[in-house]
Structure 1
Amino acid sequence: MGEFVIKMPDVGEGVAEAELVEWHVKAGDPVREDMVIAAVMTDKATVEIPSPVTGTVVWLGAEIGDKIAVKAPLVRIETAGEGGEDKAAAPAPAPPKPVQPLRLVEPAMPAAEKQPAAPREATAKLAEKPLASPAVRLFAREHGIDLRQVAGSGPVGRILREDIDQFVARGAAFSPAPIAPARKTATEEIKLTGLRRRIAEKMSLAVSRIPHITYVEEIDVTALEELRATMNRDRKPEQAKLTVLPFLMRAIVKAVAEQPNFNATFDDHAGILTRHSAVHMGIATQTPAGLMVPVVRHAEARSVWDCAGEMSRLADAARAGTATRDELSGSTITISSLGALGGVVSTPVINHPEVAIVGVNKIAVRPIFDGTQFVPRKIMNLSSSFDHRIIDGWDAATFVQRIRTLLETPALIFIEG
């Protein structure tokens, strides 16, 4: 018999550690060669770790949520042959599977808060469910009688119809007895692991290091919605359905061409702003595992239809957990949209190290005065945040107003140059 040690493999370039998000085995379990034994996460990508040997697990080196350094011992397996160390574990990508263990804590109630004992004639304790037939329960409910106040004379304290009659005869009225709502003292402790912890860390980083300025403007998208409906009606079967976002993507492409500082990333340690000619558009997407940002690469070279198709493909991959690391990284500017739940105003958090994020609020029909009368128009707010170290308020307003012009006159989106 020997012992084989599986070490934490190198799961990506420049990655020094990964977070353990799932165990597929426990001590004492048999394993076979190539069987997945654990899953780790780094940079929003989950990687499964297989066993290179057959044997029995004798030791696990971490708990869910722990961060493990590359080459640190992860699992020890007892094998039939000689022992050794795993030097080339080959991780395979897998969908993110967030783990959120719950631990229910029921604090003890202080002596001063303990409830007094129930009255003697109510032999059934208030905290216990009284025994009674469905017919008796229905009768009591219809007449507003709390069965917990009725003493049962049947077997094992079962409440009979006669018991209710006697209860009423003793002077109790057919009205619900006032019962104070039960106090709730339980708490839940939820350990943030996997993607949820990554999101928390990234949001903390962005808010703590980026001084945000948020600018809100309302956009009249009546003409855009008419154009979108026409294009969707005439679209080909292989074309994705158009939403507002592909038009917004193309408008942003035109706007950043005039103000390149907005399509940039900022290294605040080195003090270097990198302006990108390629527009890699991050699309904040809600998934069952949490918020992800798949990236539509080279939006500057895509048509509205192409933007819609690629955005749909990436959103489906993110929700299914099959998006690759490259598809979830490398954005230069981000769009955030909550769709029909978009509210009136939001304050989107910049996707570090970018310097701008454009937030889309819901479309609503509002009465707008055209100079002579109020007319119904479809209005959508844009709530956009910018890194105030790089973007001044005037520049932010100019950027958003350019997008507004393009969306309110959507023919301009299709004019090249």
Structure 2
Amino acid sequence: MSNLIVHGGSPLKGRIVPSANKNAVLPILCATLLTREPVRLHGVPEITDVKKILEVFRQLGSSVSVDFGTGVLDLHHQNTHFDPAKDHLPEEMRSSIMLVPGLMARFGAARIEDDVKGCTLGAREIDPHVEVFERFGASVDRAADGLLLKVDGKLRHNDHWTDYASVTTTENFVLCAALADGTSTLMNAASEPHVQEFCQFMQMLGAKLEGLGTSRLTIHGVDRLGGGEFTFAEDFHEIVTFLALGAITGGDVRVKNSQPEQFPLIDRTFAKFGVQIVHEDGWSRSVVNGKLKVKEPFTRNILQKVEAAPWPYLPVDLLPIFVALGVKAEGSVMFWNKVYDGAMGWTTELSKFGAHAFLSDPHRMVTFGGKPLTPAEVESPYIIRVAIALLMVAASIPGKSVIHNAAPVRRAHPQFAENITRLGARVEWVEGD
């Protein structure tokens, strides 16, 4: 178990350069299996899931050379091999399901482990992915420890309309369609910034893709994909996290941000808590005049609301960050997670700080902020940004707090504790019970 010790009460100040987005890096790593040409990636973060996928590539015979100090990764899948009977994919990592298209395209076979999962965000079914694989011609059989998939010949083109705008399902569709035998179209495609970045990488490899950033993607299958170099953009999740840490501690944090055009709704959400976001010269800054205070709606007798759903809504992954602001800000806010069942059930941990948060149902939480808060020992669920949200609350309270089971932070944010220490935070990792 990895715990974070937090000595709170210090305003965070300084400049920070975010790492790449895990949710762009992982599908792009999986996409490299589609080509036999060398690929060089810049800005690769040293996080748990990246290391797991690179270890799989090594076990399959691929050439892997990485320098996490510079963030440069060289991959060459020229001599890669795969046997579904003995080669297993990483467990406890949702993104491993995106290795399936590359394996099917190259070897005509793949597998899905029974334990494929990520953060504990309620029920996260694999059926939409299996449906996509079947539509491209895969047969699916249940084995003792997972599903075995087989393809006879090339993947076949198809048109598909998803039940909901799932990021990973969209990426799996694109991965399958890139080398399929014709033109494929996906309706209700996800369009998050990391999906757009993934599609840009696919285009760099030579994929013929239209509709980038929209809910309708058209992919014209090609015979082969090439190689090349690609540089990752800053993670907007991490940008928001550092801006929120500056705001909740009463500090002044500036964060490198090369894509402020993605932030209008995020900026307006910050404003609901009395935080102004300023974008200038490639940097973003959070400004708070006085204490955090919830903006009262003009409509009488309703709560201020923060609703999270697939892009272009506010991203669901950011909701815990704003819950932390809601606990600290004077006033009441209703938070609505429109995607995952049961992902809001950590109100009991907030209450240990003295916060007043009420779970209305599996999708909605109400915070009654501005209450006196005290340091506490809390237990994080296995959700990356819930661990960070608990850290945010602890960082805003003078005294020593402990975030137990904070290891999920390492799945997405390399050197996170070290980065916020440079901003003036007093935090440290402690291994053990």
TM-score normalised by length of structure 1: 0.22
Structure with larger Rg: 1
Higher relative contact order (CA 8 A, sep 6+): 2
